[in-house]
Each structure stands twice: as structure tokens, then as C-alpha cells.
Amino acid sequence: LTTFLSVSGFLVCVALTMKAGRSWLRRTADAHEHEPTWLLFLAATCSLAWVAGLACGSMNFATNMQPYYRISMMGGALDVDPRDIPATQYLDVGRIVFQEGSRIGEELSLGYKDSDIYCVAPVVGNSTHLPASYDFWVVGINCCHPIPPISFWCGNAEQGDSRFHAGLRWMGSDAQRQYFDKAIEMAEAEYGYRAGRPMYITWTLDPTRDVEALRDRGMSFV
């Protein structure tokens, strides 16, 4: 349907432009030709509206609808222990709720700077035993302060709010992923822990509601 509407709009603009062009040529060739110039205005405004609609539609799809389609096709997981590794067993999961008491390991966070700061922090449980590997990672851009005193505020949660112990699958670009990978490598070297096969998430209270919000923003996009 989207392709049909885009092509139809393009063809209408082409037809109006050709009609306006012929009208303009008649006016320039015959000084007594007084065919109205509203066709030129209509062709120009139609073309402008088509380009603007295509640009806004592409932006809306990339920002809202594409992440919505990708995440909504994935499953969900409840009561997940952050120590339940490897995270690759959750590759088909887009919404994940961790056990109560799970939190962002702010004291283990780090950021890699390359124009922007690419921030990473592991999800830690309420156990005192160190895991063999940290595989669940909260990520964000320009939302941490890696130099002591360390602070990390990525995601939708207020710092220290225990109600938040869930994540929405991070769906960014491959280029951004490379920077997050570098940040984790630096964190491993800095803190001496291991990150096996990281899964990147956005920290949130209700990932299902966040997915529905993506759909609602996409449907109401102006």
C-alpha cells in the first residue's frame, strides 16, 4: 500500500508538471495565449507535498515503525536472572523482565568517547556472588559520566528506582554497536570482569508499553 501511494503521488506530480510545462511553452510562444498559470502553482505545490510526505514517511518508518515491527515480532521473557548466561539463548527475545532486585551496575559502567559518549553498564542481580560473565548490558548515548564520580542515567529509569528491572531490546545501527563493543572491551580491562556475548538493552519499567508507544507514535506521526 505504501509503495502504491508513493508511486501514485509521483505519477500525479509528473502529469501536472507536464501539463504545466506545455502551458508555459504555449504562453511563451504565443503572446496572445492567456491560459491560466495556476497549473504551474499546482504542479510545484504537488511536487513539494510529495517530497515532504516521502521524507516524513521515511523518517517515521525508521524512527518508530521499523523498531516496532522488529521488536513486536520477537518474544518476551519474564523473571530472568542476569546471571543466566549466555545471553544468546534470548536472541529471539525483544522484551525482557529481570528478577526483582536486578539493577544497573552503575559502579561497573564505562563510556567510550568518539564525538558522542557511548555508555555501557551491566545488569547485575541481588546476589553477592560474581557471575562468570556479564551478558546483559544497558546502553545509551551521552547518558553517563565515566570519570569518577561515575554516574549512569541511560534508559527511562530514575537513578535508584527499584521498580525498574526490565529491558527493551536495543535496535540501533551496526556503527553504534561497534562503539558499544569498544566500550565493553574498555570496561573489561578497567574492572577485570568478563563480558561473554553481550545483549544490548534499553532500561525501562514496562517494555510492552514501550513497544505500544512506538506503534502509537508511528500511527499519529504528523
Give residue 50's pLDDT band: very low, low, confident or very high (50, 70, 90): confident
Question: What residues does 152 pair with on adjacent strands?
Answer: 144
**45-63 b/e with 16+ CB inside 10 Å = b?**
ebbeebeeeeeeeeebbee
Q: In the structure grid, which three cell numbers stand for residue 154, read together?
A: 541511560
Percent of the chain at pLDDT above 90?
30
pLDDT value at residue 184 = 94
By percentage, how much of the chain surpasses pLDDT 70? Answer: 84
pTM of the predicted protein model: 0.75
- Among the ranges given (33-37, 100-104, 142-146), the one the predictor scored with the smallest mean pLDDT: 33-37
DSSP characters over the chain:
-HHHHHHHHHHHHHHHHHHHHHHHHHHHH-TT----THHHHHHHHHHHHHHHHHHHHHHHIIIIIHHHHHHHTSEEEEEE-TTS--GGGGTTEEEEEEPTT-EE-GGG-EEEEESEEEEEEEEE-S-SSPPS---EEEEEES-EE-SSSPEE--SSPPTT-TT--EEEE----HHHHHHHHHHHHHHHHHH-----S-EEEEEES-HHHHHHHHHHHHHT--
pLDDT tens digit sequence for 111-130: 999 889 999 999 998 877 77
- Residue that wins the pLDDT comparison between 46 and 141: 141
Kindly compute the dihedral angle of the four CA atoms of residues 33, 34, 38, 43, in this order, to the nearest 10 degrees: 0
**pLDDT band, very low/low/confident/very high, at 33 (cuts 50, 70, 90):** low
- Whether 34 has a pLDDT exceeding 60, the answer reads no
Residues present in the chain in total: 222
Looking at residue 119, its pLDDT comes to 95
pLDDT in the model for residue 186: 93
pLDDT at 122: 94
Say if residues 20 and 40 touch (Cβ distance below 8 Å): yes
- The arithmetic mean of pLDDT across residues 198-218, rounded, is 88
Model confidence band, residue 57 (pLDDT cutoffs 50, 70, 90): confident
pLDDT higher than 80, residue 70: yes
Dist. CA 8–CA 5, nearest whole Å = 5
- pLDDT at residue 138, rounded to an integer: 95
> Residue 3 — very low, low, confident or very high, per pLDDT cuts 50/70/90?
low
pLDDT confidence band for 160 (50 / 70 / 90)? low
Q: What is the mean pLDDT of residues 32-60?
A: 74
| pLDDT above 60 (res 1) | no
